[in-house]
Structure formats: structure tokens, C-alpha cells
Amino acid sequence: MTRVLVPDHIDAAAVPALGARVHGLRGETMGTTWWVLWADRDATRQAAVRAAIEAELDLVVAQMSTWLPSSDLSRFNRAAPGSRHTLPEAFADVLQAALWLAEASAGAFNPAAGALVNRWGFGPAPRHTDPGFTPPDETELCAALRTQDWRRLAFDAATREATQPGGLLLDLSAIAKGHAVDRVARALAGLGIAHALVEVGGELRGQGLRPDGMPWWVELECPPVAPGHSPPPPTRVALHGLSVATSGDYRRAYRHQGRHLPHSIDPRSGRPVAHGLASVSVLHTEALWADAWSTALTVAGRDAGLALAEAHGIAALFVQREADGGLTETLTGAMARLAG
């Protein structure tokens, strides 16, 4: 049986664009891909829509990329100890959200974990795929752990100023893609496009309806199942004014000396997570929060993550890999309500 998740709020003003056709565009950004579908009667504005989408994605990259040496974030990461910087608006907004979640998750989510992310081979360089790459030893781990106290940023949201305490490396990769999805969705609305489905690197947001009056349906990706086990039933989501993000331990990961090392790092231990959580999907009205929470809950692990998600009313689906290789699903109360 398929599980179906539908939003608790149906927008009464969302009338399908009768006679409209679904248009699509795709491209590459942030080391991954994006695609957008939208319903429109006007078939002549593909170029304008592409330009609007790319402007938003480029803005996020120019401000928050860890890969682009000229981004505002990279420049902040290289800045002199004690220097104070006024951040551009989007960067400051995303950092403020990330810092809130760092406090709320007691550091499971940490935007200042860049040194750890890099040392485990998930930053710009060196990559874990590079010849001769080795994971950090204890000394290197301790050095990276010392740099990641987000409170030392002394960030002031009113003035958008943050301090580089020295060697603190920001990494907003767990939240910036979600923000990019929100920006693209808002830009489309600004062009008068009320009905659209936006995806960046696996994070999605749907608004309005398809021309046939149906919501934008998407199916959640199921983590790989060990031989001899059947996958859990598929989950379909009606993305109507809703976003979904999934973090998992199986997509960006490598093996070292028999250990599975995913790109979600627990900043408290300094190590990639290893608690058997295969994936966490979060539904939220904003893609930024879906993205950030899915990472935070992945790092927290199923039991602590469930408690944290319940405390904040977050709609989350946890998929745990059991010792025998089978997958067990757990839904938070808010997610169970969307499942009817």
C-alpha cells in the first residue's frame, strides 16, 4: 500500500490554470542539478523564466558556496582573526536560521563545522576521492573540533555583522540548497507563475496545482535495501504549498577500513554519523527549514531526532537500517497527521 501525505491546508485561491501547458527547464548548480516544472498558458517565456531561476541560484552560489573561492562565505572563512564583516542579506538570513537550529539541536546541526567537513573529504579539497586521501587522525580531529564553536561568530542579525574568530570555517551546504529552492519559487511567483514544482539537488517545493487540477505529486526516494528484505511501502507527497527534503547516509559516502563514512558529520564527536539511520525526510512549508531539519535530525539519530522533531512539531519520516539489514520507518506526530 502506498502512503499518501497531503498538506493540512488547501489554498482556496489555487485555481488550476485551465488551458495551460506544463513547461520544464533544467540545469546545473552547486555541484548538483536543478529542474523546474511550471504551468503556463504563455509558451514564449522560457528564456525569461530560465534567467530568473539562474539569477537566484547564482546569487546563492556567489554568497554561500564553499567551492567558489570568491564567494562571500569563502572570503569570510579566509578572513583575519578578530575581523568583523557585514554579510549580504541572503547569507545573513541563512546564517541566522542555521544558528537558531544549532542552538535548538544542541549542536547536532552546526554551520561552523566546515573544518570537520573538509577534513573528512567532503569539502572543496582535498576530496575523499583524491588519490592518497586519508581520513583524519586523532590530532587532526581535535584541531578541527576546536574551530567549530558557532557562538564565537558573535553574529548580530540587525546589523548582519559576524566576527571571524580565526580559523572558523562556515559551511551552509546543509541549508543553502533549501534556501535556493525557496528563492526560485518566490521568483517564479514574482513572474506571475503560481503553479510550479522546483527541485535543487533533491530538495523540492511545490506551489499551486497542475493544469489537470492535481497537486504536484512526488515520491520519496527509498534507501537501498539489503538482499532478502522488502522495501517499505512507497510514500507519495502532494507538494501543495509544501517542501520536502531528505538527508541520507547512502548517497554521499565512502568506505574506509570497513567503515561506512557518510557526509553527515556529528560535530560533537567530530565523526561521520554511524547510528544506522538510512534517511530522514522532512516536510515543511519552507524548503530552507525542510533542508536544515533533515540534516539536523540525521545527525541526531532516530531516538534523539524523534524527540527533537516532536518538541518542535516537525513533520519527519525516519528510515532506520536495522541490524539484520531491514528498514524500519517511524513518523513524527506531525507527519502522521499529514498521512491522515
Q: Which residues are annotated as a binding site for Mg(2+)?
A: 174, 291, 295
Residues 240-269 that bind ligand AMP (CB under 6 A): 247, 263-265, 267
| Grid cell of 138 as nine digits | 586523532
**Cα–Cα distance for residue pair 48/326, rounded to 1 Å:** 47
Applying CB under 6 A, which of residues 38, 76, 91, 109 lies at the interface with ligand AMP?
Answer: 109
C-beta closer to Mg ion: residue 163 or 243: 243
> Nearest residue by C-beta to ligand AMP?
174
CA–chain centroid gap for 110, Å, is 13
Dihedral in degrees, nearest 10, Cα atoms 106, 111, 115, 119 = 80
Applying CB under 6 A, which of residues 29, 71, 77, 110 lies at the interface with ligand AMP?
Answer: 110
**Least Cβ distance, residue 103 to ligand AMP (angstroms):** 13
Which option in Mg ion, ligand AMP, none does residue 327 bind, with CB closer than 5 to 8 A by kind?
none
Total binding residues toward ligand AMP, as defined by CB under 6 A: 17
**Least Cβ distance, residue 194 to ligand AMP (angstroms):** 28
Applying CB under 6 A, which of residues 38, 122, 155, 289 lies at the interface with ligand AMP?
Answer: 122
**Least Cβ distance, residue 163 to Mg ion (angstroms):** 25
Q: Which region, judged by CB under 6 A, interacts with ligand AMP, from 105-113, 155-163, 282-290, 332-340?
A: 105-113
**Cα–Cα distance for residue pair 290/283, rounded to 1 Å:** 6
Q: Provide CB contacts within 8 A for 150, sequence distance 6+.
A: 99, 102, 107, 110, 111, 112
Antiparallel, parallel or unpaired: β 3-5 and 235-239? parallel
Angstrom CA distances, 3 to 136, 297, 339, stand at 42, 21, 7
Q: What is the CA radius of gyration of the chain?
A: 20
Instruction: Count CA atoms within 13 Å of residue 126 on its CB side.
Output: 10
Which chain residues interact with Mg ion by CB under 5 A?
174, 291, 294-295
Which chain residues interact with ligand AMP by CB under 6 A?
109-111, 113, 117, 122, 171, 173-174, 247, 263-265, 267, 291, 295, 299
